[in-house]
Amino acid sequence: MKGRRGVEARIKAAEQLLRLPPDLPATRAALADRSSLVVAAAARAAAKHGLDGLQTDLLAALDRHYCDPVENDPQCHAKSALVEALAALGHLAAATYLRAARHRQPEPVWGGREDSAARLRISAAEALSRNGSPDLYRILAEHLADPSPEVRSAAARLTGEVGGERGALLLTLRLHLPEPEADLVGDYAAGLLAADGAAAVPPVAALLDHADPVIVGGVALALGASRLPEAYAPLAAALDGVLRCAQRADLLAAIALLRCSEAAERLLQALADGGEDAVAAAGHLRLYRDRPEVMQRARVLAAGHPVLLSQLGSDA
């Protein structure tokens, strides 16, 4: 019990380093602590206060926590915070991040073992991206096939941000491979649209015909969020061919996100036609409050219908 109280006191003291003025000696001492939670708090303090002089200490602590990692750093709290601190302080050595980006840490859980290093791998990939590492695409390819859905999703986002032909090719391949988590297909679609722009619309839009409504909804929202004018036609065509209310709601939401004149007209038409689409369209038209002419037409169409007026908003 006494030992536990001692660890808790050290953790509390390390967390105080985040709120107190920069204290290099105290932060250095905390980085050498036996508790991974103390080290994690000290790493966050080093990053927050820009304590660049601690890079050697951060690297030593990181190396230490790779040894017997399940015992010394359960849940990868220390390693994740240390990698993030090194990245924040401008550490450039690719080897540091490559090791972290490939680290797996299976830990005992009820009924088996579970990897706890997803956040660590994601943080390392982000650091490689910021540093312009030539190894980045290798890591992105590995992460797009990672067992962790969290890592695959982050890799899709990061690949989209990096863009370029190589990024677009990686995401095109990933989009056409089997994915056990249906909601991640929308992430791959969003990444591809970010990486390749209008050229990505046809392969992404082809999935609007998928049998899984989760995939259709995710892909539709990715197309809408892209704000690409070329995305309107396939979304409108998909809406014309769908009867299921839930799927129509996803498609209307996606069309609304485009915020183009064609999208506004489609929402106004749905409002005029009445039914469940009208209620959804009225809610989505709130996105067009900065267009007085659109809102004026919406108010006229919703006149005498309290539910529609309510969906348009109090200032409609």
Residue-wise pLDDT for 125-181, tens only, equals 999 999 999 999 999 999 999 999 999 999 999 999 999 999 999 999 999 999 999
120, 168: one domain: no
Mean pLDDT of the chain: 95
> For residue 114, is pLDDT > 90?
yes
Residue 307 located in a structural domain: no
C-alpha–C-alpha distance, residues 267 and 31, integer Å: 57
Question: In this structure, what token pair is assigned to residue 224?
Answer: 């809408």
Average pLDDT over residues 288-296: 95
Residue 76 located in a structural domain: yes
Residue 195 located in a structural domain: yes
Among 211, 229, 247, which residue terminates a domain? 229
Residue 139 located in a structural domain: no
Per-residue pLDDT at 278? 93
Half-sphere exposure of 166 (CA within 13 A, CB side): 10
Q: With contact defined as beta carbons under 8 Å apart, do 52 and 27 qualify?
A: no
Among 204, 229, 254, which residue terminates a domain? 229
Average pLDDT over residues 92-101: 98
Domain residues for the domain of 218 are 156-229
Q: How many domains does the chain have?
A: 2
> For residue 108, is pLDDT > 80?
yes
Residue 141 located in a structural domain: no
Average pLDDT over residues 105-114: 93
Q: With contact defined as beta carbons under 8 Å apart, do 172 and 199 qualify?
A: no
Per-residue pLDDT at 246? 82
2-16, 275-289, 298-312: least confident range? 2-16
Q: How confident is the model at residue 83 (pLDDT cuts 50, 70, 90)?
A: very high
Per-residue pLDDT at 243? 74
Residue 132 located in a structural domain: no
> For residue 314, is pLDDT > 60?
no
Per-residue pLDDT at 64? 98
20, 77: one domain: yes
SS3 108: strand
* pTM score above 0.85: yes
Average pLDDT over residues 286-315: 90
82, 160: one domain: no
Residue 313 located in a structural domain: no
Residue 283 located in a structural domain: no
Average pLDDT over residues 77-97: 98
24, 120: one domain: yes
**Which amino acid is residue 121, in one-letter code?**
R
101, 161: one domain: no
> For residue 51, is pLDDT > 80?
yes
Average pLDDT over residues 48-53: 96
Query: Which position has the token pair 């004018």?
Result: 229
